[in-house]
Amino acid sequence: MQVFYTPDIQKITYTLNPEESKHAIKVLRMEAGDEICMVDGHGGLYYGIIDEPDAKRCVIRVIEKIEQYGRRNYSLHLAIAPTKNIDRMEWFIEKATEIGFDEITPLLCQRSERKSLNTERMEKIVLAAMKQSIKAYMPVIHSMTKFSDFIERTEEATKLIAHCMETPKPSLKSKVAGKQKFVVLIGPEGDFSAEEVEKAKLNGYEEVHLGKSRLRTETAGILACHIINLMKDE
């Protein structure tokens, strides 16, 4: 079923914005009486009927609302250094949204090859993936943040840093049971520096590994997201 984004839906009738109206009427050729599914990004999923199939202001009559749709029993904040190849970063954002996360902060690290990121573009990718996977919660994409600034933030969570250095460390999977809130750091293509790892540890982060393979940045991000989702899927 096609899903539409309706962030300010409140009443029994709702008018889709021009972009969503055009997509419903011109692209999908929906008509009066057709059923439509909507999400508000805050946990609300709605079913409605098209009353006025206008390509500029399509009017919907809401017939059902489901609150806290798909709410997870944990929260996940991924802090990841964007890849040099922007296509790989966009792929990561899309797939992570399909799996499920709450926040992403792009990290500027010592070995980062990408120094900036178009947050607005990332938000559009998140929105499309959210609708495609029928999720009612809109993940947050933060602006690029220096590694040193990010790790100094006070946050009540299980704080983990995944890196490839040959040091004894437990698996990410072993750190998930019984925990509800996670912050996971994923480094750039050249990995975190030893200095960054030490700084993270001094700020309460625990070292973890993601398996025996050496992974690309975007693959590591997806795997971290998937491991936590899989372990917390009760």
Residue range 68-110, pLDDT digits in tens: 999 999 999 999 999 999 999 999 999 999 999 999 999 999 9
Q: What is the pLDDT of residue 234?
A: 57
Task: Name the average pLDDT for the chain.
Answer: 94
**pTM, to two decimals:** 0.91
In a 13 Å sphere around the CA of 46, the CA atoms on its Cβ side amount to 24
Beta-bridge partner residues of 140 = 103
Rounded distance between C-alpha atoms, residue 234 and residue 232, angstroms: 6
Written as one letter, the residue type at 35 is E
Rounded distance between C-alpha atoms, residue 92 and residue 19, angstroms: 25
Residues 6+ apart with CB under 8 A from 124: none
Q: Which residues in the chain come in under a pLDDT of 70?
A: 234
Q: What is the pLDDT of residue 1?
A: 72
Q: What is the pLDDT of residue 233?
A: 79
Residue range 12-34, pLDDT digits in tens: 999 999 999 999 999 999 999 99
Residues 6+ apart with CB under 8 A from 84: 113, 114, 189
Structure tokens, 233: 């899927």
Q: What is the pLDDT of residue 4?
A: 94
Rounded distance between C-alpha atoms, residue 183 and residue 177, angstroms: 15
Domains in the chain, ordered, with CATH? 3-66 (2.40.240.20), 75-232 (3.40.1280.10)
Neighbouring CB atoms inside 10 A of 218's CB total 23
Rounded distance between C-alpha atoms, residue 186 and residue 206, angstroms: 13
